[in-house]
């Protein structure tokens, strides 16, 4: 696949074209601290395996990582637990909203996949049970991937979600009742909310996930972040489940492994090429950023990026 030498003008053009769509979405308000974010900001970055980063708009503005953090937690848990993880969480699309509880009861406390809330809380339990300081371990992992020592968790967002996290608590206690959560629920939720509260920007995020486009190897350093097999598996899960109950449509229209978060960010992995991170806070009814969806969709179409 031939990527133009300078992608920034195309990114700027798409951002200008699609930013007005922000009006069609709504900023997440069920976490009060997120409701205060300026809905008109938007940015995009495309990091490529050769070390280039193309960007447009507010690509260096920090936002809340939210559910995109599930990717990093998953990789850490896969590295730590190996295939045992797949006895406690499945790898099927849920076809349900990200915070749905109904399936979890039917399926005896085994989450459908690790990137819906129930699955990510299960992964958080693995991290809490296997690291003496899991929150720090998460930040250290992310910092090494971004090559940025200043990545932090926003305390205001963390406390806001801790205070308004009843649904996630319900998911965790339900899994605990089935014996699928090992640690104490409050500790597991604290870890989960803390990783969701990470403050990051498009450039850092796109750079941090390059290993998934490169068979598990961080370009530049040559560090094997996860095995080639696991990088392929994470991409498979992102392709089928990363956009929640809009994953089918995203695969159909865009054709890239991707993950969204209610902070308004979407990352898309372009195997053997690089990673796109787009951000604009207003969300559609699936909890996916309206502008980021359109922007990545058009970019993938223009450049012929679909893996299918």
User: How far apart are CB 111 and ligand GLN at their closest, in Å?
Assistant: 13
Residue 54 and residue 11: Cα distance in Å, rounded? 8
Respond yes or no: is residue 192 known to be catalytic: yes
Respond yes or no: is residue 156 known to be catalytic: no
The only residue of 48, 117, 160, 289 in contact with ligand GLN, by rule CB under 6 A:
117
Respond yes or no: is residue 262 known to be catalytic: yes
Q: What part of residues 84-113 is at the interface with ligand GLN (CB under 6 A)?
A: 98-99
* Active-site annotation holder among 262, 267, 273, 290: 262
Confirm or reject binding of residue 67 to ligand GLN (CB under 6 A): yes
The only residue of 53, 76, 225, 262 in contact with ligand GLN, by rule CB under 6 A:
262
Nearest residue to ligand GLN, scored by beta-carbon proximity: 67
User: How far apart are CB 258 and ligand GLN at their closest, in Å?
Assistant: 13
Pick 168 or 204: Cβ nearer ligand GLN: 168
Pick 66 or 180: Cβ nearer ligand GLN: 66
Q: What part of residues 178-237 is at the interface with ligand GLN (CB under 6 A)?
A: 196
Pick 54 or 250: Cβ nearer ligand GLN: 250
Pick 274 or 287: Cβ nearer ligand GLN: 287
User: How far apart are CB 68 and ligand GLN at their closest, in Å?
Assistant: 7
CA-to-CA separations, 7 to 45, 46, 178, in angstroms, rounded: 10, 8, 50
The only residue of 287, 296, 299, 305 in contact with ligand GLN, by rule CB under 6 A:
287
Q: What part of residues 147-166 is at the interface with ligand GLN (CB under 6 A)?
A: 161
How many residues bind ligand GLN (CB under 6 A)? The answer is: 11
CA-to-CA separations, 131 to 81, 124, 125, 193, 281, in angstroms, rounded: 12, 10, 10, 17, 33
Pick 125 or 161: Cβ nearer ligand GLN: 161
Pick 45 or 262: Cβ nearer ligand GLN: 262
**Residues with active-site annotation:** 67, 70, 192, 244, 262
Interaction site with ligand GLN (CB under 6 A): 66-67, 98-99, 117, 161, 168, 196, 261-262, 287
């Amino acid at each position: 696949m031939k990527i133009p030498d300078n992608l920034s003008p195309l990114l700027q053009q798409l951002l200008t074209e699609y930013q007005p769509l922000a009006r069609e979405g709504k900023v997440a308000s069920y976490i009060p601290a997120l409701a205060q974010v300026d809905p008109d900001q938007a940015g995009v970055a495309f990091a490529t395996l050769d070390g280039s980063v193309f960007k447009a708009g507010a690509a260096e503005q920090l936002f809340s990582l939210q559910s995109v953090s599930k990717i990093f937690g998953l990789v850490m848990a896969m590295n730590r637990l190996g295939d045992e993880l797949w006895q406690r969480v499945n790898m099927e699309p849920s076809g349900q909203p990200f915070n749905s509880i109904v399936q979890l009861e039917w399926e005896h406390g085994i989450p459908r996949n690790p990137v819906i809330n129930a699955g990510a809380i299960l992964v958080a339990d693995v991290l809490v049970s296997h690291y003496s300081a899991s929150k720090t371990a998460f930040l250290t992992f992310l910092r090494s991937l971004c090559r940025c020592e200043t990545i932090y968790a926003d305390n205001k967002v963390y406390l806001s979600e801790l205070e308004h996290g009843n649904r996630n608590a319900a998911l965790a206690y339900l899994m605990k009742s089935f014996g699928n959560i090992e640690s104490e629920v409050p500790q597991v939720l604290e870890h989960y909310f803390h990783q969701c509260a990470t403050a990051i920007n498009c450039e850092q995020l796109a750079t941090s996930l390059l290993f998934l486009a490169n068979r598990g190897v961080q370009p530049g350093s040559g560090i094997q972040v996860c095995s080639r097999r696991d990088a392929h598996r994470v991409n498979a899960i992102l392709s089928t489940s990363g956009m929640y109950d809009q994953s089918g449509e995203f695969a159909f229209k865009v054709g890239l492994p991707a993950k969204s978060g209610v902070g308004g960010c979407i990352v898309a992995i372009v195997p053997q090429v690089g990673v796109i991170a787009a951000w604009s806070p207003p969300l559609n009814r699936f909890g996916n950023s309206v502008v980021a969806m359109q922007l990545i969709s058009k970019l993938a179409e223009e450049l012929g990026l679909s893996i299918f």
